[in-house]
Chain A
């Protein structure tokens, strides 16, 4: 029997969110009998992040309605949770980590699940402005909700038109705010989707009374007595009682850097999520080689966090897993559900398939010549699962039939035999 099934072994995990928590439970399921210790600087019992900008933000729920696992579940699986503790140092030679209070914790296997943190852009006056928030933690939501409930005019400016910015816009609108989104690029979601989708979401927000403005480079913020004046490079300015900053993330790689791990847009890991001898890295903080798309990628998604967690757990327990998942992601805004599968980077053609009927229901299919790369499905789970299957199997698709709403939306009807 392998040493990894010994009771004396200790696995230390830094970061207890989607990646770290799923890893801990998977490791137990794979048969690890030693200690599993999860550290996180966040003092709150680990929770789902996606709802923070969506349903959870608009609800009055406390975070215990949104937990990844109940406190009892950790106990039952013998997983030790050490919350409110920051790890500042790793000693790879002594094989221990140093806790914020100076204590040492030794490990046999170390897992980095440190994720990412919001970028605070170098905008003049941002630090001095009032009611400025990012959105990544339960505490952020608490503070935003509080600011919303005490704000008289509820004028919100959101800097950044990515998914988090747009979801937050929809949620705060629902809470009665008047919302303006300022995006620096010429279209929203520019980094992640095709112009057709950007266009759709711009119109969606407009029709819900949210102002989405592009080519707006915020350069400074002037704090007035009761509000902030948000100034753009084109000399326009916007009043804000509340400012939400959603301009992307920095990967948390300081610890990995400290111990000399290979870093390139995230901690580089192999197909088993391994970064170095006895060290694994999983989730948002990693850059992995994806065999399907034949390149290194870094993903920010629950899918990647969970799947890499399972891979690392299996690898530590002497299986020989290979990470080869097709990425998927979702976003909920108003009554629109967007589901994405695959990666569209490098596409040469985007085809629109629109379903019959009055309901908004369509999908965009991204091809590189005749190879399907990705699908964005709007209120259309059928397109999403079809796309998933086709991408996984590298199925060749009849593109003429695909765009014809009268052709059956089934694998057999669309594939080229």
Chain B
């Protein structure tokens, strides 16, 4: 079981729990504003962009090449950016805090 907190662009904090699936799916199932997941989780849409809380980067690891490339020209990208469809829920993510990125 992992507890994951999303902070929306309106600064609302949404705390959710899951045991499996992707972090994007968790957000979409709970209607977290700003996470759309249009492509279903295959790195094709970039509508699941989040910023990992800097001190939690260890939990998630760095973005993969395709995530970086998809976000390269995004106005809101930074070194903590991830496409959260690429984050698989597991114990390791327990306590994770994610800021939903603004969309262009």
Contact = CB atoms under 8 A, between A and B. Distances in A.
A201 interface: no
A382 B72 contact: yes
B13 interface: no
Nearest to A76: B31
Interface in A61-85: 65-70, 72-73, 76-77
Interface string A283-303: 000000000000000000011
Contact of A382 (B36, B44, B69): B69
Interface in A221-263: none
A157 B97 CA distance: 49
Central interface residue in B44, B69, B71, by most chain A CB within 10 Å: B44
Nearest to A388: B73
B2 interface: no
A70 B29 contact: yes
Contacts of A323: none
B31 A73 contact: yes
A395 to B, nearest CB: 12
Given A385-B70, A385-B73, A51 B40 contact: yes
B38 interface: yes
B12 to A, nearest CB: 14
A69 B29 contact: yes
A302 B38 contact: yes
B1 interface: no
Contacts of B31: 25, 69, 73, 76-77
Contact of B28 (A69, A381, A385): A69
B92 interface: no
A283 to B, nearest CB: 13
Contacts of B40: 48, 50-51, 66
Contacts of B42: 50-51, 54-55, 330, 332, 337
Interface string B63-88: 00010011111100000000000000
Contact of A330 (B28, B29, B44, B69): B44
A386 interface: yes
B30 interface: yes
Interface string A378-415: 00111011101100000000000000000000010000
Contact of A381 (B30, B36, B38, B69): B69
A10 B89 CA distance: 38
A332 B42 CA distance: 9
A389 B73 contact: yes
A166 to B, nearest CB: 16
Contact of B39 (A25, A302, A381, A389): A302
B39 to A, nearest CB: 7
Interface string B8-41: 0000000000000100000011110100101110
Contacts of A389: 73
B43 interface: yes
B36 A385 contact: no
Given A50-B40, A302-B38, A306-B36, A385 B29 contact: no
The 10 closest A-B pairs by CB, nearest first: A381-B69, A70-B29, A48-B40, A330-B44, A382-B69, A381-B70, A385-B73, A73-B31, A381-B66, A306-B38
Given A65-B21, A67-B29, 19 more contacts: A48-B40, A50-B39, A70-B28, A70-B29, A73-B29, A77-B31, A302-B45, A303-B38, A330-B44, A332-B42, A337-B44, A381-B70, A382-B72, A384-B69, A384-B70, A385-B71, A385-B72, A385-B73, A388-B73
29 contacts: A29-B33, A50-B39, A51-B40, A51-B42, A55-B42, A65-B21, A66-B40, A68-B28, A69-B28, A69-B29, A70-B28, A73-B28, A73-B29, A76-B31, A77-B31, A302-B38, A302-B45, A303-B38, A303-B45, A306-B36, A306-B38, A330-B39, A332-B42, A337-B42, A337-B43, A337-B44, A384-B70, A385-B72, A385-B74
